Amino acid sequence: MDSAALLDLLGNENRRRILRLLARKPCYVTEISDYLGVSPKAVIDHLRKLEEAGLVESRVDDHRRKYFSIARNLRLEVNVSPYQFGTKSAYPASPSLDMTGCRYLSLHVEQGDPEPAGEDVEDLTAELERLEGLENELSMAQRWVQGRLTDVMDRLSARFGENGRFYAEVLSALANGAQTTNRVARKVDAAPDVVEEVLTSLAESGLVERDGSRWQLTTRG
């Protein structure tokens, strides 16, 4: 999808909120309508636009209810600087991509003046070329990580059964630095008592551990 069209599509707050909700679980129109506080007709219009863009897909369950879910893994990058404005959308890089061939992923930052006196144009153009290469490789690395994160979350979700997606989100929140029940609850948009129950279950499985009021992933020795 054209990145400018994607940026325009996501400029609508309610469409962004729909995608945030669908990132947590598949939903049908009534659920989305209640979550947004807008009419089902408006929800259907937003879903139609998201579906036409290929961001959302639908399926019908055994009770003939139509569920919507996010259809693709896509990254949108926006660059605003005094010398450039641009957007770029891209699918995650293949998991088989050999990232060890990237020259700049291990950064060595030299201390001191980043623009020492006496630098000539040749030095500056060489540095420009190096930094452009670094930017491209970092973009590729981010796409690779995004794809791997989605794959790992999918596999975690499958391991926990019916509520696997929620369990995977709780683990992700812990991995991302949330340590208390309330902070995890805010990250996963759930009630603290529900999160506490999930964390206790994960602790019984040996996946997380508690130290006072703080939770953390169990480290493997």
Residue boundaries of the structural domains of the chain: 3-70, 160-217
pLDDT at 198: 94
Topology (CATH) of 3-70? Arc Repressor Mutant, subunit A (1.10.10)
Q: Report the CATH architecture of 160-217.
A: Orthogonal Bundle (1.10)
pLDDT at 117: 47
Average pLDDT, the chain: 86
147: confidence class by pLDDT, cuts 50, 70, 90:
confident
User: Do residues 56 and 50 make contact, with C-beta atoms less than 8 angstroms apart?
Assistant: yes
Structure tokens at 3: 């990145």
pLDDT at 139: 85
Q: Do 3-70 and 160-217 show the same overall fold?
A: yes
* 101 vs 28: which has the higher pLDDT: 28
Q: What is the pLDDT of residues 162-218, one digit of tens each?
A: 888 899 999 999 999 999 999 999 988 889 999 999 999 999 999 999 999 999 999
pLDDT at 170: 94
> 57 pairs with which residues across the strands?
69
CA–CA distance, 28 with 31 (Å, rounded to integer): 6
Q: Can you tell me whether residue 150 is helix, strand or coil?
A: helix
Q: CA torsion 173→176→181→184, rounded to 10°?
A: -40
Q: What is the pLDDT of residues 160-170, one digit of tens each?
A: 888 888 999 99
